[in-house]
Chain A
């Protein structure tokens, strides 16, 4: 065993051959996507805003997941993962490319985020669940409005707030009872019609309630603070990615083991920064698309999405690079076994936190919390998408990769990773796109979704694969390289 030491050719772990030009292909895809997205923006700016945000988040999470992988390897002083760590470092470094790609989100933020004050059009149709009764709205309405309605409202109370509102309110109660089992499209349409009829003299009770809630959230959800946070998130991510990449590549030349120790020390505070920024970025960029809805575990769910997706990317990319030569001999079935274990573990973690979020909301059944699942389970096409996510983001990949032998079967693991990567795209689509026309049926796929995804994947991929041509694909100066090359699962 020890005789094998240092007889491998470190120069072969370079991105040469068929993959050296990969970044150009990605650049081409990105240019095509950008052109399409540009055309789409002129045609349908609102759709472009949501499509771009979906594409941006999808790719961003892959980069953040890779950053997490590097952090964990540093935190645990891992020896096994040295040969695959550089690939993750490249993908984490790709977060630099995500900074300019955020510009379209800033450009369209007034369309995306209802709380920015330009979202009046969202207000009325915002949620189709009755958050407040008309009576509540009147009790909390401005004084002059209550004064005009007083004779009826105080006398008859909650059952019949106004003469004109009484009949629809009664109808609504019936509608509520049947809605869950009835025809969704019909239920929603009837509901929307009643929404108008139920207006008290103080205005739409939904709007009043939302306005009050948003006023309370304004110290956090306001434009300036939002922009400050955007800068903070990107500053942290780019700093962490560049720093971790720098430790590793500096070691390629100096072979100084002290750099490993420095990276390990750096990883602990970095993990705190990472956790805070990822959680709040998930709140800011996805959760606040529907500012009335909240879930404290949401950041963890989004984090889990990204980690699973980045393991899938790591497996697929190292497999491709191993097959075509550059990583030949560096990444073995033992590494895939471990990557498979981690992907499987985080897959279960994703299911666990996703179900926990659903379970608590379902159990408590608070109207302002249930909107999230109401919009995703009671409307087509989202009901089917939700079922597909349960099946193909958990059940199928779970049994597909559960056994040790399944994970060590590289071809099988590759299929599992591919399924999970596709489902990651679907999952983020499911998080973002229902906000495009919240609480309304008839959502359809738009070519802009694909164009934006191609644009973001292309630019990110071009950046990552171009960096790969500049540095060795394996940390050749790492003191634990030998251990990783001969690593075996006990």
Chain B
């Protein structure tokens, strides 16, 4: 790591990208990286591949742990709201029912549970996926466009604790990809712009 840090920014690739011709090859490549202890790698394919979660060693989604308590918060909040409004603050007899009656609250409790759960699901998903994010180094690769057509990719990020350019590259080569590419992050480094000797834009 320290050695890498000493290098100039431009020489540190953001990630290594390998291209495969079939989902089976990608699956086995993912298994190899999982077994080698990599955690910051991802696979990209035009369609979902059954068994990929296990092949990548992905843990269960934490989304449920976010949604469940927030959903219950919705239930409780609806109950307290209706109880306070109908039972305490402004008791009002409607339809000959007691001012505070549980059956009339249940639809509200149900709806607020759904509403809170839906928000928790969407925003929790965005948070877990670190979205919204406007750019990713992957899109600097011309070849990568094939991931939405007929190509299969595995990308390893250089921030992975196991990252070592030479060894990672060797491991990638052992999975028989059709192509390996170093991808640089030109977003923060300003490589989008022609570096000018004067140093000003």
Contacts and interface: CB of A to CB of B under 8 A. Distances in A.
Interface of A: 1, 355, 358-359, 362-363, 365, 402-405, 486, 488, 490
Interface in B106-140: 106-107
Interface string B31-67: 0000000000000000010110100000010001000
A483 to B, nearest CB: 10
Given A488-B51, A490-B50, A363 B104 contact: yes
Nearest to A355: B106
Given A363-B95, A403-B64, A488 B50 contact: yes
A359 B95 contact: no
B103 A358 contact: yes
B146 interface: no
A198 B106 CA distance: 39
Interface residues of B, number: 15
Contacts of A402: 68
Given A365-B95, A490-B50, A404 B106 contact: no
Contacts of A362: 103
Given A362-B103, A488-B50, 14 more contacts: A1-B24, A355-B106, A358-B103, A359-B103, A359-B107, A363-B95, A363-B97, A365-B95, A402-B68, A404-B60, A404-B64, A486-B50, A488-B51, A490-B53
A359 B60 CA distance: 38
A365 B106 contact: no
Nearest to B107: A359
B199 interface: no
24 contacts: A1-B24, A355-B106, A358-B103, A359-B103, A359-B106, A359-B107, A362-B103, A363-B95, A363-B97, A363-B103, A363-B104, A365-B95, A365-B96, A402-B68, A403-B64, A404-B60, A404-B64, A405-B60, A486-B50, A488-B50, A488-B51, A490-B48, A490-B50, A490-B53
Contacts of B68: 402
Interface in B76-107: 95-97, 103-104, 106-107
Contacts of A404: 60, 64
Contacts of B51: 488
A231 B51 CA distance: 50
Contacts of A359: 103, 106-107
B51 to A, nearest CB: 6
Nearest to A359: B103
A201 B120 CA distance: 66
B45 to A, nearest CB: 12
